[in-house]
Structure 1
Amino acid sequence: MKKRTKIIISTVLVFIVLAVAGIFLVALYLYNFAINPKNMKDVFTKDSTAVSRSETSGKAKENPDWLKENSTEEYMNSNDGLKLHAYQVQQKKKSDLYAVIVHGYKGNGLKMSSYAKRFYDMGFNLVVPDLRAHGKSEGNYIGMGWHDRLDVLKWTNSIIEKNENAKVVLFGVSMGAATVMMASGEKMPQQVKAIIEDCGYTSVEAEFKKELKTAFNLPSFPLLNAASLITDIKAGYNFKEASAINQVKKLKKPALFIHGDKDTFVPFSMLDEVYNAASCEKEKLVVKGAGHAKSSSVDPDLYWGTIKNFLNKHVTNN
């Protein structure tokens, strides 16, 4: 009887070890699939490709190289020693207005050319960073906005060091939107006047949980927990702490929240979650018929008209 019990216990233990090993192998695959910058192909759903496509949409579509042709390239070191890159454009006439424009997942600064041109036409100087591990910036992992939030604030401080009278707006799309929301919960200089986010997710945990279900039909537990642990070990952050919704709870600056009601990549329902969490002065824009990161191209007049009115109220005329 004792021998039989030992065999059963040994079998169970072997099964548990194999199961745990299998979970972590799948989790490591998920980490490499989503967080490892060496895999820079579009991932998850087909809708994810909308991020890069739509970032070159709008009025500047006629010249997607506008940013490259009109910018200077700048570098700075992050707080953890990475060499970060950004494109900068100065107005021909002196202006105290500045926009920090942040790209989406597996994109780069140049893919924000259409947005950059719009802000430039409204009188803003531009700083368009490549987030860590994107474009010309160094990095061994994709930060999903969390460590990037501090990088964006450092770019912002570099503006203020050159012009203490600067009036700065932080603007981002998709992961860039999550980044500026995550940055918004940090202590900000008074020169930052507002933030605008377009289709940002509530948290990395919530976004990856949704994608595990829709793209792989897999449960979040225990795979997401294991992938989060691996990310914590390899990249220094976990999916739960990388939360835009928790950060906007601390936001004191005016904010504009934008989302397309046909967005399935970052679900439309996330708009109300981040909007309701913010206790600051805020506005919300829903673009009907727009999928992920397509609001500016589906209804450009509404999109840019709303942004211009918001900026006139909180930045340009203040």
Structure 2
Amino acid sequence: MKKKYKILVGIIVSLFVLFIGAGFIAGNYFYNLALNPQSDKSAVLDAPHNLIDSNPNEVKEKEARETWFNSHYEETTIQSVDQLKLHAYSIKNQNESNKWAIIFHGYSSDGLQMTKYAKHFYDMGYNVLIPDARGHGKSEGDYIGMGWHDRLDVVSWIDNTVQLNNDAEIVLFGVSMGGATVMMASGEELPTNVKAIIEDCGYSSVWDEFSYQLKEIFHLPAFPIMYFASAVTKLKADYTLGEADTVKQVAKSQTPMLFIHGSNDTFVPSSMLNEVYDAANVPKEKLLVEGAGHGRAENVAGAKYWETIQSFISTVPVTHTIH
């Protein structure tokens, strides 16, 4: 009887060890797939989801914007709180202004892909700053922060802008991961220089977004892979997928916020719009663009997109309370 018991215990322990081992192998695979900047992202990116213009008119406009951008930008760097060298493109408006738009790009992209938004804010009278997120573009970093550690980088860019211009009036703007980044930053203690935050198609949390993608792309449930992937992320990038919670950060915000999403978004489901909007306890507005896919709200809405942004910015309070 004791022999059978020992055999049973041995089998259970062996299966448990195999389960844990297989779990960490799977978790490491999905970590590298999603959060290693050097890995092939074709399995998780359905280009053209990531702001890529496709029709001839858009291509021509894109080329004109890039020509303008390349002849105006200056490069600047700062050091992050964890000693990474972070890079950004800066354009001072030809008309002297204290207004600044700090613009954040999406997943597996870089600041150079945000020229469309930079030009619009510039034409609205703003100086523009377009950082490369950690692990992207010319910024240092060996993992993708999905907005979580990046939220502290946002604070660093804000502080740097205020040091250069104490009277700066700042608007934070981001699309996709950049949208989540500015929302996550909204829960930090921001200076009164930050007047408004505008997010376009950001996710409600990293856990929810990755769980959704795991099901949509790989047809797999969140349990147990997400738990192992989160453990690997903690070991390699020092954050868990569960703590990177956009909704909780937005609930702490003291800054007026505008939320934008496309109704046909299949990369970050449009249902996440109401989650973040409902969490905000500040002056707020939302714009759901019918028929727009991920990162395409501006293309589909056209002038209404920018009219909504300009109207929102013009009606926000001059100052906000520091918590």
Same fold (TM over 0.5): yes
Residue pairs, 1:138-287, within 5 angstroms:
138-287=140-289
Secondary structure, aligned partner of 1:143: coil
Residue pairs, 1:297-308, within 5 angstroms:
297-308=299-310
Residue pairs, 1:77-96, within 5 angstroms:
77-96=79-98
Whether 1:29 aligns to 2:34 is no
Question: Which letter does structure 1 place at the counterpart of 2:139?
Answer: S
CA contact under 8 A between 2:171 and 2:198: conserved in structure 1? yes
CA distance in 2, matches of 1:177, 1:304: 16
* 2:108 paired residue number: 106
For these two proteins, the number of residue pairs brought into alignment is 317
* 2:52 paired residue number: 53
Query: TM-score scaled by structure 1?
Result: 0.95
Deviations 1:256-287 (A, max 9, x none): 00000001110000000000000100001010
The Cα shift of 1:68 comes to: 3.0
- In structure 2, the CA distance between the partners of 1:54 and 1:265, relative to structure 1 (3 Å rule), is farther
The Cα shift of 1:193 comes to: 0.2
CA distance in 1, matches of 2:59, 2:261: 16
CA distance in 2, matches of 1:6, 1:146: 47
Deviations 1:125-159 (A, max 9, x none): 01100000000000010000011111111111111
CA contact under 8 A between 1:100 and 1:171: conserved in structure 2? yes
**Runs of 5+ consecutive residues of structure 2 not aligned to the other structure:** none
Higher mean C-alpha deviation, range 217-226 or range 165-174: 217-226
Identity %: 49
Question: Which letter does structure 2 place at the counterpart of 1:16?
Answer: F
Higher mean C-alpha deviation, range 16-25 or range 4-13: 4-13
**Runs of 5+ consecutive residues of structure 1 not aligned to the other structure:** none
CA contact under 8 A between 2:233 and 2:240: conserved in structure 1? yes
Query: TM-score scaled by structure 2?
Result: 0.94
* 1:39 paired residue number: 39
Higher mean C-alpha deviation, range 97-106 or range 68-77: 68-77
- In structure 2, the CA distance between the partners of 1:248 and 1:60, relative to structure 1 (3 Å rule), is farther
Question: Which letter does structure 2 place at the counterpart of 1:269?
Answer: S
CA distance in 1, matches of 2:317, 2:93: 17
CA distance in 2, matches of 1:174, 1:153: 19
CA contact under 8 A between 2:98 and 2:165: conserved in structure 1? yes
The Cα shift of 1:181 comes to: 0.2
The Cα shift of 1:43 comes to: 3.8
* 1:16 paired residue number: 16
- In structure 2, the CA distance between the partners of 1:316 and 1:99, relative to structure 1 (3 Å rule), is farther
CA distance in 2, matches of 1:299, 1:54: 15
CA distance in 2, matches of 1:260, 1:89: 29
CA distance in 1, matches of 2:98, 2:316: 14
The Cα shift of 1:20 comes to: 1.2
Deviations 1:161-210 (A, max 9, x none): 11111100000000000000000000000000000000000000000011
Question: Aligned-pair RMSD on alpha carbons?
Answer: 2.1
CA contact under 8 A between 1:96 and 1:165: conserved in structure 2? yes
The Cα shift of 1:42 comes to: 3.9
CA distance in 1, matches of 2:290, 2:314: 24
Secondary structure, aligned partner of 2:7: helix
CA distance in 2, matches of 1:40, 1:99: 31
CA distance in 2, matches of 1:83, 1:67: 23
CA distance in 2, matches of 1:59, 1:316: 38
The Cα shift of 1:7 comes to: 1.7
Secondary structure, aligned partner of 1:123: coil
CA distance in 2, matches of 1:191, 1:205: 31
CA contact under 8 A between 2:95 and 2:125: conserved in structure 1? no
CA distance in 1, matches of 2:210, 2:101: 29
CA distance in 2, matches of 1:271, 1:231: 26
Secondary structure, aligned partner of 1:157: helix
Higher mean C-alpha deviation, range 48-57 or range 135-144: 48-57
The Cα shift of 1:317 comes to: 12
